[in-house]
A = this chain, B = another copy of it.
């Protein structure tokens, strides 16, 4: 778990805090182009692999049978903010399936979207499972469950949906997963090496023109994310802002405990990184630095400077800087 120095916080000319991590860039043959830290480190991808968890939904034909348009496919890959555009879409989606909020198994939490929060707090309303950032992924699981005529407990490890997810995950990472943990949303999350996750992202990057349902599903999910960045996270969120800033060139996704991935179809590259301490500010800064390094966005773009550069306090006074560590990116 040692990791390479990746992101540093400076204050008053002194290093105040530092983050270590692992990062891998793979090409479409699955080979490592460049890496930092330990490329064999085992990680849980957490929400960064939602596009992999969405593969069985698309390649099974379930998505087409349910008439899922790209916005819903993007939402199936999302850790959304629970804004109205997200919750309205999930509500209609569940309705179209003949299901309801009670069929979800993700649990409830307060949405991250400020207007949605305000609406709930000021009306003394508790959030429901539709507000859960994973409710789009779970709607995808329910869509596949219905298509498979499987039972309602779709997050159980032996449920056909999770068996299909594991098979797809092991296939695209090129590794037998050593096992799983239970995610915040109660779904199994399969462990892989950082290289395995980067290899999976490179497979999404290089799927164009390849034969078969798997490749077609990869292109559809990846391109749905790039076409609808507002569905994948939300306003003021790094995923959405970085995808918008690259003008749709890159599909980007973060996960809890500081995992980040990027799919670069034009360059034929996949990226995965994990900050050892789980600090999201560092994983956002690290993926921003790698996107600059890979030439898909300028270092001076506001979406990059939000994560790397001058830090200011409540009165706007400069207090320090977030930087990449020497030797990283």
Contact = CB atoms under 8 A, between A and B. Distances in A.
A3 to B, nearest CB: 9
A102 interface: no
Given A179-B12, A191-B12, A314 B276 contact: no
Interface in A177-202: 178-186, 189, 191
A3 B116 CA distance: 41
A44 B276 contact: no
Contacts of A314: 106-109, 132, 184-186
B186 A313 contact: yes
Interface stretch (A51-59, A244-252, A315-323): A315-323
Contacts of A108: 314
A43 B19 CA distance: 15
A304 interface: no
B315 A179 contact: no
Contacts of A84: none
A196 to B, nearest CB: 14
A164 B17 CA distance: 27
Nearest to A107: B314
Nearest to A318: B182
Given A17-B258, A278-B17, A183 B122 contact: no
Of residues A16, A109, A117, which shows the largest number of chain B Cβ atoms within 10 Å of its Cβ? A16
B11 A44 contact: yes
Given A12-B179, A44-B11, A179-B12, A276 B17 contact: yes
Interface string A3-27: 0000001011111111110000000
A153 interface: no
Interface string A220-244: 0000000000000000000000000
A43 B14 CA distance: 9
A12 B44 contact: yes
Contact of A17 (B106, B257, B315, B320): B257
A15 B108 CA distance: 26
Contact of A317 (B186, B279, B319): B186
Contact of A122 (B15, B16, B122, B320): B122
A245 to B, nearest CB: 26
B185 A16 contact: no
A95 B318 CA distance: 31
A181 B11 contact: yes
Contact of A14 (B12, B44, B122): B44
Nearest to A43: B16
Interface in A104-152: 105-109, 117-118, 121-122, 132
Interface of A: 1, 9, 11-20, 42-44, 105-109, 117-118, 121-122, 132, 178-186, 189, 191, 257-258, 275-279, 282, 313-315, 317-320
The 4 closest A-B pairs by CB, nearest first: A107-B314, A12-B181, A17-B278, A11-B181
